[in-house]
Structure 1
Amino acid sequence: MVEGRNIQKQYGDLKVLKGIDLKIDRGEIVTILGSSGAGKTTLLQILGSLDKPTGGDVFINGTNVSTLRGNQLARFRNGHIGFVFQFHQLLPEFTAIENCMLPGLIARKSEKDSKERALKLLNYLGLSDRLEHKPAELSGGEKQRVAVARALVNDPLVVFADEPSGNLDSRNQDELMDLFVDLRKQFNQTFVIVTHDQHLADKADRTVHIVDGVIVD
């Protein structure tokens, strides 16, 4: 469902990715594990269409996203890809439900439909009593769950998560990974998660290890 073919990334003389081949199936939870500077975040950004490879191609559900440009790429990303980041990236002036609704509104869905979907997800994630709270009024774990709900609001094919537990304590780290597992069971959701935490990686279906820009066994 997600496939990278011979993915390369180079900045000047620095080769960050040196020919990555990777396939991820629908409903699979895959962690990308590696030390700082190994290339794991660069790979995630390329697979998630946030960056272009120097060489190679990325396919999501049969679409070569490496060839998409401008508004076409933006529409594909908004409609089919979700993102969860370490520092949540919630808009501080908006409430939890407003933050969650935004991708739906950007996709030009009605306010009613966007709100209904956001309510369903936030309720499912145990945030029914925090809907009108702004990010500054939420705990770290609550903010990350709002970010997860926002990533899911357009029913994406895949969610890419970049160190999603890096800003959480150990209890919330475990809860977040358990949440990903539950969402896969409930919605057959696909997750690709960058982490440096072996404990989290152990809960995934499969772990991809990157060392110096290549995948190693």
Structure 2
Amino acid sequence: MVEGKGIHKSFGDLEVLKGIDVTIESGEIVSILGASGAGKTTLLQILGSLDKPTQGEVYMDGKAIHKLSENQLARFRNKHIGFVFQFHQLLPEFTAMENCLLPAYIGGVSKREADKKATELLGFLGLSHRLEHKPAELSGGEKQRVAVARALINDPLVIFADEPSGNLDSKNQEELMGLFVSLRDQFHQTFVIVTHDEHLALKSDRTIQMVDGVIVSNDL
């Protein structure tokens, strides 16, 4: 469902990715594990269309996303890809409900349909009582769940999560990973998660280990 072929990425003379071949199947939770500097975030950004490879090909649901223009990529990303980041990236002036709604409004979803979907998602994530609260009024775990709801609002093919538990305590880390598993089980949602936490990575369906820009293991 997501496939990278011969992915190289260089920044000047520094080669960060050195020929990556990777496939993510629909409904999988896959963790990309590695130390700082291994290239895992760069790989996630390329697979998620936030960056383009210096060399190589990226396909999502059979579509060659490495060939799309910036405008085409923006539309594709909005409709088919969700992102969850370590520091949530919520807009501080907006409520939990409004933050969740933004991708739907950008994608042209009607207000009635978007409001219904956002209310259902936030309710499923245990945030029905926090809809009108702004990020400063939410705990770290609550903010991350709002970010997950925002990532899900347009029914994406895949959610890319970059160190999503890195700013959470151990209890909220466990709850977040449990949430990903529930979403996989109930909605067949696909997740690609970058992490340096081996304990959390072991809860995935599969772990891809990276060292110095190459994949050294791909546990099935």
TM-score, structure 1 length as denominator? 0.99
Match of 1:134 in 2: 134
**1: CA distance between counterparts of 2:182 and 2:44?**
22
**1: CA distance between counterparts of 2:199 and 2:150?**
25
Deviations 1:105-135 (A, max 9, x none): 0001111111111001000000000000000
Deviations 1:113-172 (A, max 9, x none): 111110010000000000000000000000000000000000000000000000000000
Match of 2:178 in 1: 178
Q: Does 1:68 align with 2:57?
A: no
**2: CA distance between counterparts of 1:48 and 1:70?**
13
Name structure 1 gaps, 5 residues minimum. none
Q: CA deviation at 1:215?
A: 0.2
Q: Does 1:149 align with 2:138?
A: no
Name structure 2 gaps, 5 residues minimum. none
Deviations 1:45-88 (A, max 9, x none): 00000001000011000001101112211000000000000000
TM-score, structure 2 length as denominator? 0.98
Q: Does 1:19 align with 2:19?
A: yes
Match of 2:105 in 1: 105
Percent of pairs with identical residues? 73
Aligned length: 217
Q: CA deviation at 1:12?
A: 1.1
Larger mean CA deviation between 68-77 and 207-216 belongs to 68-77
Match of 2:35 in 1: 35
Give the superposed CA RMSD. Answer: 0.4
